[in-house]
Amino acid sequence: MAEPQPPGLKGAITRLEPQRWQVAVARRSAEARATVPQLELELEADARALADVHGHLRTARLARACALALREHPLANGAWRDGALELHGRVNVGVLLALEERHVAPTLLDADRRPASELAEELGELERAARTGTLRAPALAGATFTLWDLEPLGITRASPLVIPGQAAALAAGSTRELALVRNGTIVPGHAMTLTLASDHRILYGAAAAAFLARVGALVGEGVA
């Protein structure tokens, strides 16, 4: 319930009590910034394979690229917890969905073992459930990594938050058209900015760079 406050230099102030999900987001965001020493790296990836791919299929192909890279780089699929390194046995990608009034991050379980078409179908079902208020807590649990596909927002780059209990998160920017030089000739091309944030207690610079490079290579290959 909004509670009007006496007007001051800023005008009339209306105080809004947060909903439960807003309290949870605020708590987790503050915890992430306060407790996780983040290292951020950026890579310009060849996005020709995604130039004509949009919506859930694009996000699913990005999730699968991340998942395959996570399987090859176990530290990126781990966490720093209670002074020790934890490596997760399953590769589960949480996908951040930016809805009109809230953000949710449902989990694609075993994303490294499933084709992008199947992941896209599940992602569509999860988003519909989120929009209709029928998404249940189990669908939000178990992520070992978080992906934020920025295409629906039309954003080219962003700094993702590393969720406590995970080692890294990745933001994938919108695909951009640009001119490239190949063999001395200017040709049209497509690129996207991949921004990786990692917990520097477990995923150091060289390892984080190797993981990010592998994600970029898989995106360029058009892994499906």
Instruction: Label each residue of the chain as H, E or C.
Output: CCEEEEEECCEEEEECCCCHHHHHHHHHHHHHHHHCCEEEEEEEEECHHHCCCCHHHHHHHHHHHHHHHHHHCHHHHEEEECCEEEECCCCCEEECEECCCCEECCEECCHHHCCHHHHHHHHHHHHHHHHHCCCCHHHHCCCCEEEEECHHHCCCCCCCCCCCCCCEEEEECCCEEEEEEECCEEEEEEEEEEEEEEECCCCCHHHHHHHHHHHHHHHHHCCC
d(CA 181, CA 172): 23
Q: How far apart are the first and last CA of the chain?
A: 47
d(CA 215, CA 224): 13
One of 3.40.50.720, 3.30.310.160, 3.30.559.10, 3.40.50.970 is the CATH number of 41-221, namely: 3.30.559.10
Per the rule left: phi > 0, alpha: psi between -120 and 50, beta: everything else, 93 is: beta
- Predicted model pTM: 0.87
Tokens (6 digits) for 81: 């917890």
The pLDDT score that the predictor gives to residue 12 is 75
Are 50 and 58 contacting, i.e. CB atoms less than 8 angstroms apart? yes
The pLDDT score that the predictor gives to residue 199 is 95
Are 38 and 195 contacting, i.e. CB atoms less than 8 angstroms apart? no
Helix pair angle (116-132, 55-72), 10° resolution: 120
d(CA 54, CA 110): 22
pLDDT tens track of the chain, all 224 residues?
555 556 667 777 777 777 776 777 777 777 767 667 889 999 999 999 999 999 999 999 999 999 999 999 999 999 999 899 999 999 999 999 988 777 899 999 999 999 999 999 999 999 999 999 899 999 999 999 999 999 999 999 999 999 999 999 999 999 999 887 778 888 888 999 999 999 999 999 999 999 999 999 999 998 88
